[in-house]
Amino acid sequence: MSNPCPTPHNSAMPGDFAPTVLMPGDPLRAQFIAENYLASPRLVNNVRGVQGYTGTYKGVPVSVMASGMGMPSIGIYSYELYNFYGVENILRVGSAGALSEKLQIRDIILGQGACTNSAWASQYGCRGTFAPIADFGLLRLAASLAEERGLRYQVGNLLSSDPFYDDDAGSNDAWRKLGVLGVEMEAAALYMNAARAGKKALAICTVSDHILTGEVTSAQERQTSFRQMMELALDTAVRL
């Protein structure tokens, strides 16, 4: 029997996702957002436990689905959402390690660009280095809302890193010297998938740990307590 679903990684049917999807890395954060913010959330995907929900927020259809960890994982799910499910906007709602003295734990980084040590862009055959950037409209809207709310935030470059455990203990130093604000593992692939599909993306990340000071948050805090980021992304979604 043929599989009626558009992809091998997603059990949702066409039309199950809203035009805008929030993508946390953690499936349990996706569940938390759906259960605490969306009206009448409906589970539309749970293949491999990668939970995806669709409901409404302030009367506007919004979806939330986990991306998993790393560029290969978000690369699969964002590609499928853009190219098989008609999704127009993806807002990554994730965590990042701060590389800047300007940032404190729980501050928000709006990823204007995403540097990377990944070879993701090599698939496109560009004769140079592609610069993955956010959609300016999404970035401008999110920054305006953050300003209105009086949130502590910075706009700038993220580093999307392939390794989490890097054999070079000083690997972040060069990026920090170039003004990169924080390190995470997904935004560059998301931005490149959006560019290739002609769609829109923005990474909104909460500082979960500080590389310079050694401060950290717990797994439970990362899952349920980054509400300023969640609410900023949701309010951005309903104004598109």
Residue range 185-206, pLDDT digits in tens: 999 999 999 999 999 999 999 9
CA 161 to CA 170: how far, in whole Å? 13
Query: What's the whole-model pTM score?
Result: 0.96
Mean pLDDT of the chain: 95
Active site residue 209: yes
CA 162 to CA 62: how far, in whole Å? 29
Domains and CATH numbers, the chain: 20-237 (3.40.50.1580)
Q: Which residue has the tokens 């439970």?
A: 220
CA 164 to CA 81: how far, in whole Å? 26
Q: Which residues pair with 55 in a beta bridge?
A: 62
Task: Note the pLDDT of residue 1.
Answer: 45
CA 215 to CA 73: how far, in whole Å? 27
Give tens-digit pLDDT for 7-33.
989 999 999 999 999 999 999 999 999
CA 78 to CA 101: how far, in whole Å? 32
- Rg (the chain; Cα; Å): 17
CA 157 to CA 132: how far, in whole Å? 10
Give tens-digit pLDDT for 125-156.
999 999 999 999 999 999 999 999 999 999 99
Selecting among 162, 173, 209, 235, the annotated active-site residue is 209
Give tens-digit pLDDT for 68-116.
999 999 999 999 999 999 999 999 999 999 999 999 999 999 999 999 9
Structure tokens at 7: 């992809």
DSSP state of 124: G
Task: Note the pLDDT of residue 2.
Answer: 56
Q: Which residue has the tokens 């300023």?
A: 228
- HEC assignment per residue over 34-54: HHHHCEEEEEEECHHHCCEEE
